[in-house]
Amino acid sequence: MSRFFDLVSKPARDLGIPNVPSSTSAARERRSQLVKLDSNENPFGPSQRAIDAMQAALGNTNSYPDDDCGRLRRELASYHGLPPEQVMVTAGSTALLSLLCRTLLAPGLNAVTSERSFIVYSMAVQAAGGKLVEAPMQADCFNLEAILVAIDGNTRIVFLANPNNPTGTMLEAPVVESFLARLPGHVVLILDEAYYEFAKHFATLRKVKYSNSLDYVRQGASVVVLRTFSKAHGLAGLRIGYGLGPAELLAYCARMRNTFSVSSVAQAGGLAALDDSLHIRRVVENNVMQSHMLEVGLSGLGYRVVPTAANFLFCDVGEDAGGFANRLQEEGVAIRPLGHWGAPQCIRVTIGTPEQNQMFLRAASIVARGSGPGFREPSFARRK
Ligand SMILES: Cc1ncc(COP(=O)(O)O)c(C=O)c1O
């Protein structure tokens, strides 16, 4: 047994080896040359406005940042129509997920979510010493009845990723509202809206109501809404996100956070990006058009695609997804095989720029051609 096994905490022992990509420099070099459609990043990057603000902030990095993120918190509060005490800024929304878990959970307590949801929930819950209970899905969507059944007296958190990663499916506002009304008082609902801007745009086009989540926060419900600058704003590498929720709960979370964890450059970038509507419009409009193009292309290859409300597609390729992803990587494209999510024949592919998506479809058609029967000439190729 290793030297530290008996010394480290039980959660650290139980967490196992995280699923991190190989970090040898050769592997990194190879990966940097791939068309990267595996992490739901923004293919257009940050806006010029955000870049300028970050560059301007670089000259002051000899000073520690504002630990309270006061200016950004006030801007976010007025942007969302909430008091600043109901806003908490963290180094990415995943940092707030961990804080909420460490604040609300302990050994003997649990959190409930769906199977096949955001992988960080299980890591954050286990690191806090709690247990994650995963309710079964129903046809690629959350089964909210099953989630309600899984809640017991020791449940403190329910996570709903809306839209869900990796399936891309969305719960409409009335459905979330009636779910919330049925949650017992000892449970905090974490509504993870990392893909908010994409979902809102899809919902507008589909003439459905995506989210009333901030109303629940305004009404004082036990709800924390998570948002991030990592997706539509294109700042994933900066690490900045935030939560909107009950002031008292966020104040407890603030006690648990690391000092100075949100850099001054990140605060400046977030401030500049917050209402950069031109950039966000370009990103979400490309996403809708390209999601349609990818859906047609993948269906033309004979694959089942789940309609998305986010910036990625969940697709059943009808064979071992790990092997499929490896062959795709040989053709120069990185996507995410979903074996770890209990979907061994499914992949998640980020919606990229038109050029990236064409490269992906071209690579996928080569891989599909090598997969034998069932392959059909792709519709995008037929159109040429
Ligand atoms: C559902 C969900 N929540 C949160 C995040 C991560 O957000 P952040 O970069 O703000 O930590 C992701 C990223 O993939 C996600 O899919």
Which pLDDT belongs to residue 2?
84
Residue with tokens 């739901």: 40
Indicate the Cα dihedral angle 134, 140, 141, 143, nearest 10°.
-50
27 alpha carbon – ligand 1 mean position (Å)? 24
| Cβ of residue 162 lying under 6 Å from some atom of ligand 1 | no
| Cβ of residue 161 lying under 6 Å from some atom of ligand 1 | yes
Which amino acid appears at position 282 of this protein?
R
Residues 6+ apart with CB under 8 A from 150: 112, 133, 134, 135
Dig out the tokens for 216 from the structure.
């629940």
| Cβ of residue 228 lying under 6 Å from some atom of ligand 1 | yes
Which top CATH class is 21-45+278-383? alpha beta
Which pLDDT belongs to residue 1?
61
Query: Mind listing the pLDDT tens digit for each residue in 243-286?
Result: 999 999 999 999 999 999 999 999 999 999 999 999 999 999 99
Q: Which of 299, 207, 329, 280 is nearest to 45 (CA)?
A: 280
Q: Which residues of the chain have pLDDT under 50?
A: 20, 22, 373-374, 377-384
What CATH number does the domain located at 48-274 have? 3.40.640.10
> What whole-number distance in Å separates Cα of residue 255 and Cα of residue 351?
38
198 alpha carbon – ligand 1 mean position (Å)? 13
Residues 6+ apart with CB under 8 A from 176: 160, 162, 191, 211, 212, 213
Query: Mind listing the pLDDT tens digit for each residue in 223-245?
Result: 999 999 999 999 999 999 999 99
Domain boundaries, the chain: 21-45+278-383, 48-274
Residue 10 — φ and ψ, nearest 5°? -60, -45
For residue 237, give the DSSP letter.
G
Q: Please provide the DSSP assignment of 318-362 as one string.
A: SS-HHHHHHHHHHTTEE-EE-GGGT-TTEEEEE---HHHHHHHHH
| Cβ of residue 40 lying under 6 Å from some atom of ligand 1 | yes
> What whole-number distance in Å separates Cα of residue 195 and Cα of residue 165?
9
- For a mutational test of ligand 1's pocket, the pick from 228, 261, 313, i.e. the residue with the most ligand atoms closer than 8 A to its C-beta, is 228
Which pLDDT belongs to residue 27?
65
Which pLDDT belongs to residue 380?
45
Whether 137 contacts 114, CB under 8 Å: yes
> What whole-number distance in Å separates Cα of residue 40 and Cα of residue 350?
5
Cα 377 from chain centroid (whole Å)? 33
325 alpha carbon – ligand 1 mean position (Å)? 22
Which pLDDT belongs to residue 238?
98
Indicate the Cα dihedral angle 229, 235, 236, 239, nearest 10°.
-70
Which pLDDT belongs to residue 37?
98
Which pLDDT belongs to residue 45?
96
Please report which helix (H) or strand (E) contains residue 244, including its range. strand 241-244
| Cβ of residue 92 lying under 6 Å from some atom of ligand 1 | yes
Whether 349 contacts 325, CB under 8 Å: no
Which pLDDT belongs to residue 382?
38
Give the atom of ligand 1 at the shortest distance from the alpha carbon of 94: 11
